[in-house]
Structure 1
Amino acid sequence: MTNCYSIMLKRSLTLFLALSCTAAYAQKRLTLQDAITRALKKNYDIRIAELTEEQADINNTWVALLPSINGSAGVTKGTANTRIEFSDPNRPPTVNPNAGTRSYNAGVFASWRVFDGGRMFLVKKQLGATERLTEAQLREQVQTTVSQVIQAYAQVVFQQQQGVAIDTGLALAKVRMTLSQLKFETGTSAKVDYLQARVDYNERRADSLNQQSFLTSAFANLNVQMSTDPELTYIVDDSLELNMRLRPTNPDLLDDINLTLDVFRRNAEISKINARIAKRSYWPTIDFNGGYAYNKSENQAGLTLSNQSYGPSGGFNLNLPIFQSGSIRRQAKVASLQAFKDELVYRRQNTEIGRQYRSTWKNYEMSVAAYVLEQENINYARENMDIQRARFNVGVATTLETREAETSYVTALVRLYTAAYNVKVNETRVLELEGQLVRTNDEE
């Protein structure tokens, strides 16, 4: 029974791999880049941000500075029974049954605000700033989505690796259970060893079932980011490339590179422009109104059968706000307070982003160190398990000792996979805060 343990372990692991391959045969392969590409095309948040940016682009025009020109035309026709009596008693009344009347009118009219205290130019500046804000929001949303997809994909890979670790423990427990049963049946071991091995095996089976639930949930979260069917599953990568050589950025430079801060800064700038617009309501406005009109009327029952007029007209109107119940002052005050509020929100966010970056960078450093440590530790755990397995084969090691070695190895595997997942998540967060995540993925 010297090589029995090794042979049975290999057969068990081969069986688990075969079952995994059979289950994945009908699935499609999905790489991290494929997931990012799908999300960039279908993610609802990105599509909404794109539509918002398109709306702002359409609104950013010089309409407020241009005149408004309208044309109108009309025809009116009617009949009436008329009776006209004159002041001269010697003149008999005039009776005209079914007398027809017709009138025609047509014209082109223009209205143009030629002065409003510079309000129209500030409105145009505000529209341009709003368009740039929506562009910044779109860039931020793209980066946020890419970050969420990377973390969701990393979670799927992590849960898949957890499943591998658990299935490894399950295979080890099954082999130990089988050998303990053989030893018990041949009288070389107590029944309690076999019963303990059986309990350990069932415990591993329960862990494997629970892990399937975690993996399904991770796939659903990834599908939500890609705006696709949450029930879909894929063949994903066995591991992810880890960047363990990032260098910290000066936190004082985050104001220039962080996309979230860029959005808050632009929003504060728009509020300042809006405050300036509100103050322009104190100024008078001058409007030009002009046009060319044509009018003609015909009346079969009147003293005049036809009347026609046409020609241009024009003039200027001055509107001076004298008393508005304090509404202009109130609106200007509210707009100024809103501008100050948005400036404070921007400063608070600047401080918060700096705190997040320092914390995330520290987490990244710790996760890299933990990953290096776990890479070293897994070798010791594997060697310890191999030694205990060999001792168990020759009857030196007990079931408890072998179980402890197997548990230590599986636990070391889990810690290694967890450390790799933490490195990827913190790496992603660091790049996101530095505004480099999308560009980095494009280069890759």
Structure 2
Amino acid sequence: MTQLNLLNDQGAEIPLARSTAASFFKGGKGDLKKSNLTSPSLIVFTILLLLIFRLTNVQAQENLLTLEEAIRTGLENNFSVKIANNDQDIAANNFSRGNAGMLPNLDLLAARDFGIQNSESDFFNGNEQNISGGRSNSINASAVVSWTIFNGTRMFVTYDRLNEIQQASNLDAQATVENLVADIASAYYTVILEQELLTVIQSALELSDIRKQLAKTQYEVGRTSKLEYLAAQADYNADTSSLISQRQQMYNARVDLNTLLARSPDTEFSVPDQIDANLELRLIGLKETMLSANPQLLRARQEENIAYLTTRELKADRLPIIDITGRYDHVTQESEAGFLLYGQSNNFAYGVTARWNLFNGFNRNRVIQNAQIAMETQQYATQDLRLQLEAGLEKTFINYTNSIQLIELETENEAIAQERAEIALERYRLGNTNSLELREAQRIAVAASGRLLDAVYSTKIAEIELMRLSGKLASSNY
């Protein structure tokens, strides 16, 4: 496993110790040469291993997926972002003066009727009129315009409420983007973690293989018992089982990341072998930024405004409504029966209509009271959300600072465990110790490497969550 690095605010790298397990394999192979156990098959195996590593490394560079590329792909393809964008477009379309009731309505009506009439008529002067199959038709066309010019200022309040809804939709989209960026970044670094843990376990397995070969050779020349050789073989099998499990963990992490990027789960890619973490975050600055930029908190405040404007809309219903209307009618009639053979008229009318509901069984008061209660409830919800966000920020920051301390501690522990393992391997090669001591040193070294990786990973995940809570994740360098 290659070197892990941390970054401070100035961008300077703080180096961490190399993996103990990787150093095991390196030192172990040197000791193996000194012991004259380099058989031709082992040399061939080593050459093949180096060739495979080089080919794999070249292919990995070609399929390297950077975090920036992963986030860009996720924002372009992820379905949650597309849904949020569609909701944002709907809210933008709804924010209009026409939807608020400020603009007039214009209706055009047209009709044409046909008829056949049979009639018999006797008049006072003695005349008679008998018509059979008399045809008639009429054309009616109208244009009607109506415009509410006053409804207790409700239309203006509605327009403001639609604006608040649009802004709330924008905040929803922002929150969706930030949550997705956080999920992608976490999944991305999880892949790196699982990859590095796999390297540690692979190095441990390689060391176990060296130990097994040493035990086998020593058993064949009579320097140790068969029990020692069987124990080495059993430990080798146990490490192989751990390697298989870790491969599964790594595969699952890669599938999770591909899913977030909305692409095929089996898409091949590689990731870097280091995790860069910012060690200079400050709680006070994060809290101030969270209160002013967290999209969830801003969304809750928007809901307060929406509830307030809803109450004002309902109160506006207590006032009268005034409409102005205009109408133009065109009528044409033709008939072969009756007194009028042809007629045409054009009419224009206009007027003002006022209506005012004075009593509706106290229902209006009830609705207004419920709206005021809902507004108060939303205020409580905003206060509760703020407390939850502050608590989450505090706990995450404590985890962040503790992880940084663990990095310093585990770096030292990893170096100590590495030195101890090297000494144990040398003593085992010389026959001055047994396999139990070597196995214990190996286990401690692998555990130290794993804890160091977990500390770096936990620091990064805490950093991502702190940036998300502060509302600056989408606008940061992620």
**TM-score normalised by L of structure 1:** 0.94
- Structure 1's 15 and 402: CA in aligned 2 closer, same or farther, altered over 3 A? farther
Give secondary structure in 2 for the equivalent of 1:249.
helix
Ranges in structure 1 where 5+ consecutive residues have no aligned partner = none
Match of 1:67 among 100, 104, 108: 104
Match of 1:81 among 118, 142, 153: 118
Aligned residue number for residue 3 of structure 1:
31
Q: CA deviation at 1:325?
A: 2.8
Letter in 1 for 2:373: L
Give secondary structure in 2 for the equivalent of 1:110.
strand
Q: Distance in 1 between matches of 2:33 and 2:113?
A: 106
Q: Distance in 2 between matches of 1:16 and 1:327?
A: 82
Q: Distance in 2 between matches of 1:17 and 1:110?
A: 85
Q: Report whether the alignment pairs 1:391 with 2:427.
A: yes
- Structure 1's 10 and 34: CA in aligned 2 closer, same or farther, altered over 3 A? farther
- Decide whether the 8 Å contact of 2:289 with 2:471 is kept in 1: no
Q: Distance in 2 between matches of 1:141 and 1:441?
A: 18
Q: Report whether the alignment pairs 1:102 with 2:137.
A: yes
Give secondary structure in 2 for the equivalent of 1:71.
strand
Match of 2:255 among 220, 223, 232: 220
Give secondary structure in 2 for the equivalent of 1:234.
coil
Q: Distance in 1 between matches of 2:30 and 2:93?
A: 79
Q: Distance in 2 between matches of 1:339 and 1:149?
A: 36
Q: Distance in 2 between matches of 1:172 and 1:15?
A: 17
Aligned residue number for residue 197 of structure 2:
162
Aligned residue number for residue 195 of structure 1:
230
- Structure 1's 245 and 394: CA in aligned 2 closer, same or farther, altered over 3 A? same
Give secondary structure in 1 for the equivalent of 2:476.
helix
Q: Distance in 1 between matches of 2:362 and 2:315?
A: 13
**TM-score normalised by L of structure 2:** 0.87
Match of 1:260 among 285, 292, 296: 296
Q: Report whether the alignment pairs 1:240 with 2:275.
A: yes
Aligned residue number for residue 182 of structure 2:
147
Q: Distance in 1 between matches of 2:172 and 2:295?
A: 8
Q: CA deviation at 1:347?
A: 0.6
Render the CA deviation track for 1:279-310: whole Å, top value 9, x for unaligned. 11211111111121111212111112123221
Q: Report whether the alignment pairs 1:408 with 2:444.
A: yes
Render the CA deviation track for 1:375-399: whole Å, top value 9, x for unaligned. 2221111111111111111111211
Letter in 2 for 1:3: D
Letter in 2 for 1:99: G
Q: CA deviation at 1:244?
A: 1.3
Identical positions, percent: 26
Letter in 2 for 1:299: S
Aligned residue number for residue 13 of structure 2:
none
Q: Distance in 2 between matches of 1:271 and 1:138?
A: 21
Letter in 2 for 1:270: I
Q: Report whether the alignment pairs 1:52 with 2:87.
A: yes
Letter in 2 for 1:56: A
Give secondary structure in 2 for the equivalent of 1:426.
helix
- Decide whether the 8 Å contact of 1:49 with 1:138 is kept in 2: yes
Give secondary structure in 2 for the equivalent of 1:178.
helix
Letter in 1 for 2:116: T
Q: CA deviation at 1:110?
A: 0.2
Q: CA deviation at 1:230?
A: 2.2
- Decide whether the 8 Å contact of 2:194 with 2:250 is kept in 1: yes
Q: Distance in 2 between matches of 1:207 and 1:334?
A: 61
Q: Report whether the alignment pairs 1:179 with 2:214.
A: yes
Aligned residue number for residue 21 of structure 2:
none
Q: CA deviation at 1:67?
A: 0.4
- Decide whether the 8 Å contact of 1:249 with 1:434 is kept in 2: no
Letter in 1 for 2:398: K
Give secondary structure in 2 for the equivalent of 1:70.
strand
Q: How does 1:335-414 map to 2 (within 5 A)?
A: 335-414=371-450
Aligned residue number for residue 6 of structure 2:
none
- Decide whether the 8 Å contact of 2:208 with 2:239 is kept in 1: yes
- Decide whether the 8 Å contact of 1:65 with 1:120 is kept in 2: yes
Render the CA deviation track for 1:206-236: whole Å, top value 9, x for unaligned. 0111111111211121122111222334211
- Decide whether the 8 Å contact of 1:112 with 1:289 is kept in 2: yes
- Decide whether the 8 Å contact of 2:113 with 2:137 is kept in 1: yes
Q: CA deviation at 1:358?
A: 0.8
Give secondary structure in 2 for the equivalent of 1:177.
helix
Q: Distance in 1 between matches of 2:368 and 2:403?
A: 52
Ranges in structure 2 where 5+ consecutive residues have no aligned partner = 1-28
